[in-house]
Amino acid sequence: MTLDPRSFFTLLVFILAGTASSFAQEPPSASSSSLSPVEVKGRPAPGLLWRISGKGLQQPSYLYGTMHLYDKRVFNFTDSLYAAIERSQGFAMEIHPDSAMQEFFRQEEPDASGRKLLKEVMPPADFAKVRQKLQQVFHKAPEKVTLKEYNSYQGNYSRYAEDRERMPTSMDVWLYNLARRQGKWVGGVEDVSDQWQLEENNKPRGSVNDFLTGNNRLEQQVEKMTQLYLANDLAAIWAYIKTQNAIEQDPVNIRRNQKMARRIDSLVRIRSMVFALGTAHLPGEAGVISLLRKNGYTVEPVFSGRRTPATDYRYASRQLPWVPVHAMNSLYTVEMPGEPHQKDTTSSASAVNLYADATTNLLYAAMSLAGEQTRNRDSIISAMLKAMGLTRTEVKPQPIRQDGLEGVELMGYGPALRARVRIFFSELARYAIMVGSETNGDLQGEDAERFFRSFVMHSFKKRTGNDWFTYNNLEYGISLPMPGVPYQETALSEDSAFSISQFTYTLWGQTATFKCIVQEVRNNYYLTGDTSLLNQYPQGIASLEQARLISTRPVTIQGYPGLFTEFMSYANHDSAYCKVLNLHRGNRIIFLMAVVSRQAEFQDRINLFFDQFRFIPVREASWSMQSSPDNSFSAWAPAPINNASHTEYSPKTNGIMYVIFDKAVPTTYFIRKFPLAPYYWAGSDSSYYHRRLQSFLEDEETDTLLWEKRVSNGPYKGYEGMIRLGDNHNLKKVRTLIAGDTLYELYGQAPEDSWETDDRKQFFEKFVINTPYKPTTVFTEKKEALLAALKDPARNREAVAAIAMINWTAKDLPWLYKAMLDDYPGDGQETINNLFFEKVGIINDPSTETFVQQAWTTLPVSSERYRYQLLALLAQRQTPQAMQLMKQLLLQHPPSAGSPWALFSRLQSNPALLAPVFPDLLPLLADTLAGRILIVFADKLLDSSLLTGSTLLRNKKELYTQAEYVLRTLNNGGTTEFWYGTHLFRVLGRLKEYKWLKQFTRQPDNRHALKAAMQLLQQKQRVDAAVLKRLAADSSWRLQLYQELESLQQESLFPQEYYSQAAFGESELVMAQPEEGLVKISYLGEELADLVGQPRKFLLYRLDFAGEKGTASHLGIAGPYAPGSTKPWSELEATGVLWSRPFDPARLKADLDLYLKELIEKKQ
């Protein structure tokens, strides 16, 4: 298990050396030094920063030429570059440093494919000459030096500026880190292989003499290039490069430029970007600038006079999230700045994770080795230091203790490395964690401390009396008995709501597996229930054909709910006994599983596995005061405060949501900052805060507000409460505060014992609002200001928001009565009046009946549209007295405007309330507004026997008037709602008014004709064959006609000329495709094809569409059908249209196969 950290620094050289070949070769003839095509005459020479615009871009992107140097002189950037990075949404350099790191470490593995050694390609005589210096430069046996390492060293022109004052990183990496810490998306425009292959030319770069003595010519070139770069003159740089290199004809460089241009074209369409590329890639006929212009972009130089050294530039830096890392042998977890490389150790007992951070010049390493100690600790320390490439220590190791284990911390040194190392010991494992750097990396800085703090060791203890181990995992708080060291795997669930870790040990010779699966919610999620989730597992087992459920048993373990499930599993003539314990602890789900071939043989070990499982304390994070991204508040928290990434909240209407993820529980703490409407007020603070706390009940029937109390955070007052969630062992804690015109709400969901910890109490108690103190006016009434704002179009939007939020009471009714009938300017008139009507209806006070009666006789003509809403207020009273008054007013003055649905929608849920007065309302059947709604309620009342047909027929004349009006409308090419026609035909059918139904079957609207025809058949009446033929001829209604006839057992009436697979397939296609504009559909024939491994028949059609851009044709597919089947309808699993290709009669079978392939991929 030896790692070579020195390779890390070769990696950094590789990241810098991608364009060294731009001028590090033999010079061509002088005739190649023509002027640059990007030179602009009559103005300052174009520099290194270029703006990309045009071609439909909403925001510009930028292109910047870099040098891969550490030389502090070239870090004097223009303010325009800083501004471009600040304004842009993303940043990309040539290759992403993390991608380079992963590939480099992969190539360093002993069995890496494509790994070429220098000795294999260098002549033996030359290799003999360089042996000694290879040892000095690469600090390893010369025979192990790769061609890639050698060529990277030869091409690393930054080493020729080592006597200059240096920055910690190269220029492009520094800019990458600047963008990353500003929260920008970061990436690369090339794949690692694009630069990696530069070195795979099967021959060493440069001459042996250059390697042995140093390349003076290259050193001079580097200094010349630096001076030209400092002059910010791209044309001069390009002219000089061409005198040193035939770069314009270099096929590798041309190919790379083309790929860069293509990637830039793709990226700028997604977000505004800054691209930092080696300067040599920008100019020239085949350069990136020219290629982007040829692609339709406008690429212009950006001129700037001011410069700010990188060391003087100040910006708002964000703390970046790190990646949680799980050791493959389950012995530790740690966090690293990016996704690490898991070193192949050829042993399941050891686990090594490496991450090289090019932005800080730091190498992070964590390792563990399982097994009993057979040597003393000094020998172990020496061996582990050697494994890390460290050969000496200069200070005596200092004793430390962490996670209950003893260890040492020391400084170690190697030929090209200094490192801060911690080594720990347990009875059955050793651990080491290291932060290293070649020269100037900060080994005592915040990143190093963060790395050491995140390291969690999971120890094993040997059990007395048997050969099983107890595996303690502090990250998840579990203590597991296991036959040996379990294998750990970590993944995300399909919907990414959970992260999943599995710990597995299999007794291969005895066909027994013991497994623990930990499912924990990720940031922004939480568990919604216990019983329902626990029961999902046995319900799933019971539904499987290859399993037989034996038993389930609910349990409580250490106060947490769980469920035992036992079942038999069957596969390939074999069977296995399975026992599963499903436990909930906070927002973490634990599955313990034992799967054995023979239950009796393994029963003792199964009992041990489940009986000895224990929850243990979870290792807590280090809590501290954290500030919100906008610095408006601070909170005591275990992690940075971030804006919620997937929230649907609108900052202007619903506030801004912030989240803090507490991995120990795990849970997310939410902080919502909600702007109160300026015209909003609350009656009293206690009632207001109580309502706010009640709003956090997810189910008012099962959730309970356990307690509430007054609290204060500095000068700001508020309330705090605890909610017991129904069917959930977690409690929800809420604190709500008002600061000036802003509501702050803090809440989270966790087990009861978690809320008792000091840190989680202080999350609420130490919450600090950083803005200057401002008293609130939220408890001061603002009716007159509200009314004035409603009448001001510039302010009424905020006023409308206040209407919805205010808790109106009966004492507000006199003001509300006036406001709901008042006039308001602009388009919001109806919305404002409707809101006031809604609020009066919610109050539902008896005085409303008196007000409606008085208003009915005095309402002006201009307010006629409100009459139905006034009657709706009576309907909401839900009393016989209110219904009698409603009838009296409706008959006294039937409204001539407004929506009758406003009234009758209030009565839908209780038609019996309407029944006593409904017969008196029947004369209104002839009313063009009220008549349609009365038909709907007549149908409902007839269906529930609350109305008789004879009563309805007393107003036959009015009913005929309504039917005649609808029929005339349809015959004249008009339309009426489908739902209304359905109710009308049912009423006519119950009353045996068949002549009307027959007339409706003959009008031209087939959807109403179909419903009228079916109503006749339900009443045992004949339907003209011509009507049925017309409906069957309409592909939009053909299939529904057959299905409805079939439901009435009248399918023999279906016209036989349309009873075919081709006709039904056409109907299925018309119903299935969502595109408008279908003008023609033509049947082509049938084809056989495989669908999920089964032969099936499909019918093919040509579909012609007409649109704004002309006509288009596509292949339509109906099916599948079983081969040989004559059943007219398909299984409908694959009916649809191939949209990805235009119709091509020569590709029918190929396009069918393409369609089925796309369909399967979409379903998967």
Q: Which two tokens stand for residue 620?
A: 């807590």
- Of 669-673, 681-685, 1024-1028, 1049-1053, the poorest mean pLDDT is in 681-685
Please answer whether residues 1150 and 1143 qualify as being in contact, where contact means their C-beta atoms are separated by less than 8 angstroms.
no
Within-domain flag for 866: no
Strand ranges, E, within 826-886? none
Residue 215: band (very low, low, confident or very high) from pLDDT cuts 50, 70, 90? low
Q: Which two tokens stand for residue 655?
A: 């506030």
> Could you tell me if 682 and 632 lie in one domain?
yes
Within-domain flag for 874: no
d(CA 1008, CA 621): 67
Q: Which two tokens stand for residue 18?
A: 């991608």
Within-domain flag for 1149: yes
Please answer whether residues 1156 and 1091 qualify as being in contact, where contact means their C-beta atoms are separated by less than 8 angstroms.
yes
Q: Which two tokens stand for residue 627?
A: 């500030």
d(CA 432, CA 290): 52
Q: What is the pLDDT of residue 393?
A: 86
d(CA 1119, CA 1100): 9
Query: Cα-Cα-Cα-Cα dihedral of 788, 794, 795, 801, to 10°?
Result: 130
What b/e sequence results for 95-130 when a residue is b if at least 16 CB atoms lie within 10 Å of its CB, and e otherwise? Answer: bbbbbbbbbbbbbbeeeeeeeebbbeebeeeebebb
Mean pLDDT, residues 791-798 taken together: 87
Q: What is the pLDDT of residue 34?
A: 30
The last residue of a domain, from among 584, 615, 646: 615
Q: What is the pLDDT of residue 28?
A: 35
> Could you tell me if 1092 and 963 lie in one domain?
no
Q: What is the pLDDT of residue 43?
A: 46
> Could you tell me if 406 and 507 lie in one domain?
no
Within-domain flag for 787: no
> Could you tell me if 611 and 631 lie in one domain?
no
Residue 649: band (very low, low, confident or very high) from pLDDT cuts 50, 70, 90? very low
Taking alpha carbons only, the member of 421, 319, 412 closest to residue 365 is 421
> Could you tell me if 1080 and 1041 lie in one domain?
no
Residue 23: band (very low, low, confident or very high) from pLDDT cuts 50, 70, 90? very low
**Across 66-80, 878-892, 1075-1089, which has the greatest mean pLDDT?**
878-892
Measured from the Cβ of residue 413, the count of other Cβ atoms closer than 10 Å reads 16
CB neighbours of 545 closer than 8 A, spacing ≥ 6? none
Q: What is the pLDDT of residue 164?
A: 63
Q: Which two tokens stand for residue 232?
A: 């910010």
Tracing tokens 């940075």 back to the chain, one arrives at 640
**Across 41-55, 514-528, 804-818, which has the greatest mean pLDDT?**
804-818
Mean pLDDT, residues 215-229 taken together: 77
Tracing tokens 């992403």 back to the chain, one arrives at 96
> Could you tell me if 152 and 255 lie in one domain?
yes
Instruction: Find the DSSP H helices in 560-679.
Output: 599-611
Instruction: Find the DSSP H helices in 744-808.
Output: 758-765, 783-790, 796-805
d(CA 401, CA 399): 7
At 506, which helix (H) or strand (E)?
Answer: strand 498-507
Mean pLDDT, residues 610-635 taken together: 90
d(CA 103, CA 1121): 50
Q: What is the pLDDT of residue 18?
A: 43
What b/e sequence results for 887-897 when a residue is b if at least 16 CB atoms lie within 10 Å of its CB, and e otherwise? Answer: bebbeeeebee
Taking alpha carbons only, the member of 997, 981, 999, 1063 closest to residue 1029 is 1063
Q: Which two tokens stand for residue 689?
A: 């805060």
What SS3 class is residue 937?
A: helix
Q: Summarize pLDDT for 930-951 with one digit per residue, the tens.
A: 888 899 999 999 999 999 999 9
Within-domain flag for 803: no
Residue 162 has pLDDT above 60, yes or no: no
Q: Summarize pLDDT for 547-570 with one digit per residue, the tens.
A: 999 999 999 999 999 999 999 998
Q: What is the pLDDT of residue 244?
A: 67
Q: What is the pLDDT of residue 864?
A: 93
- Of 335-349, 476-490, 546-560, the poorest mean pLDDT is in 335-349
> Could you tell me if 488 and 425 lie in one domain?
no
Tracing tokens 């009940």 back to the chain, one arrives at 697
Q: Summarize pLDDT for 415-458 with one digit per residue, the tens.
A: 778 899 999 988 778 899 999 987 677 899 999 999 999 999 88
Please answer whether residues 198 and 107 qualify as being in contact, where contact means their C-beta atoms are separated by less than 8 angstroms.
no
Angle subtended at Cα 349 by Cα 343 and Cα 354, rounded to the nearest 5 degrees = 25
Please answer whether residues 92 and 276 qualify as being in contact, where contact means their C-beta atoms are separated by less than 8 angstroms.
yes
Taking alpha carbons only, the member of 516, 668, 669, 535 closest to residue 595 is 516
> Could you tell me if 12 and 147 lie in one domain?
yes
Residue 25 has pLDDT above 70, yes or no: no
Strand partners, 736: 719, 745
Mean pLDDT, residues 506-528 taken together: 81
**Higher per-residue pLDDT: 499 or 411:** 411
CB neighbours of 311 closer than 8 A, spacing ≥ 6? 72, 75
> Could you tell me if 457 and 473 lie in one domain?
no
Q: What is the pLDDT of residue 196?
A: 55
Taking alpha carbons only, the member of 448, 454, 457 closest to residue 418 is 448
Measured from the Cβ of residue 269, the count of other Cβ atoms closer than 10 Å reads 13
Measured from the Cβ of residue 900, the count of other Cβ atoms closer than 10 Å reads 23
The last residue of a domain, from among 769, 785, 808: 769
Q: What is the pLDDT of residue 70?
A: 84
Q: What percent of the chain has pLDDT over 90?
A: 49
CATH of the domain at 499: 3.40.1000.10
Tracing tokens 């119709």 back to the chain, one arrives at 1143
At 308, which helix (H) or strand (E)?
Answer: strand 307-309
Mean pLDDT, residues 765-778 taken together: 92
> Could you tell me if 60 and 117 lie in one domain?
yes
Query: Cα-Cα-Cα-Cα dihedral of 589, 591, 592, 597, to 10°?
Result: 180
What amino acid is encoded at 632 in this protein? Answer: S
Integer CA distances (angstroms), 1162 to 1071, 1114, 1136, in order: 20, 19, 13
Within-domain flag for 107: yes
Residue 657: band (very low, low, confident or very high) from pLDDT cuts 50, 70, 90? very high
d(CA 1042, CA 1028): 10
- Of 236-250, 723-737, 894-908, 1147-1161, the poorest mean pLDDT is in 236-250
Q: What is the pLDDT of residue 165?
A: 79
d(CA 1127, CA 1064): 10
Q: What is the pLDDT of residue 389?
A: 78
Residue 188 has pLDDT above 80, yes or no: yes
Integer CA distances (angstroms), 805 to 687, 783, 795, 800, 1070, in order: 14, 13, 16, 9, 46
What SS3 class is residue 1117?
A: strand
Predicted TM-score of the model (pTM): 0.56
Q: Summarize pLDDT for 87-120 with one digit per residue, the tens.
A: 999 999 998 887 777 766 666 655 444 467 888 8
Q: What is the pLDDT of residue 590?
A: 95
Number of domains forming the structure of the chain: 6
- List the end-to-end C-alpha distance of the chain, in Å, as a whole number: 41
Mean pLDDT, residues 42-64 taken together: 86
The last residue of a domain, from among 580, 595, 615: 615
> Could you tell me if 677 and 698 lie in one domain?
yes
Q: What is the pLDDT of residue 155?
A: 60
What amino acid is encoded at 920 in this protein? Answer: D
Mean pLDDT, residues 873-887 taken together: 94
Mean pLDDT, residues 307-324 taken together: 86
Residue 62 has pLDDT above 90, yes or no: yes
Please, what sign has the CA dihedral across residues 216, 222, 226, 227? positive
Residue 245 has pLDDT above 70, yes or no: no
Angle subtended at Cα 1100 by Cα 1096 and Cα 1104, rounded to the nearest 5 degrees = 155
Residue 648 has pLDDT above 50, yes or no: no
Q: What are the backbone angles phi and psi of residue 616, rounded to the nearest 5°? A: -125, 165
Residue 154 has pLDDT above 90, yes or no: no
Within-domain flag for 847: no
* Structural domain harbouring 736: 624-769
d(CA 1087, CA 1149): 7
Where does residue 1159 rank: exposed (0-12), middle (13-18), buried (19+ CB within 10 A)? middle
> Could you tell me if 115 and 236 lie in one domain?
yes
Q: What is the pLDDT of residue 1086?
A: 93
CB neighbours of 1047 closer than 8 A, spacing ≥ 6? none
Q: What is the pLDDT of residue 672?
A: 94
**Higher per-residue pLDDT: 9 or 333:** 333
**Higher per-residue pLDDT: 676 or 884:** 884
Residue 806 has pLDDT above 50, yes or no: yes
Within-domain flag for 60: yes
- Of 77-86, 461-470, 643-652, 958-967, the poorest mean pLDDT is in 643-652
Tracing tokens 């288009």 back to the chain, one arrives at 1112
Residue 345: band (very low, low, confident or very high) from pLDDT cuts 50, 70, 90? low
Q: Summarize pLDDT for 992-1045 with one digit per residue, the tens.
A: 999 999 999 999 999 999 999 999 999 999 999 999 999 999 999 999 999 999
Residue 200 has pLDDT above 50, yes or no: no
Strand ranges, E, within 601-740? 614-615, 624-627, 633-637, 642-643, 656-662, 667-675, 704-713, 716-724, 730-739
Whole-number mean pLDDT of the chain? Answer: 85
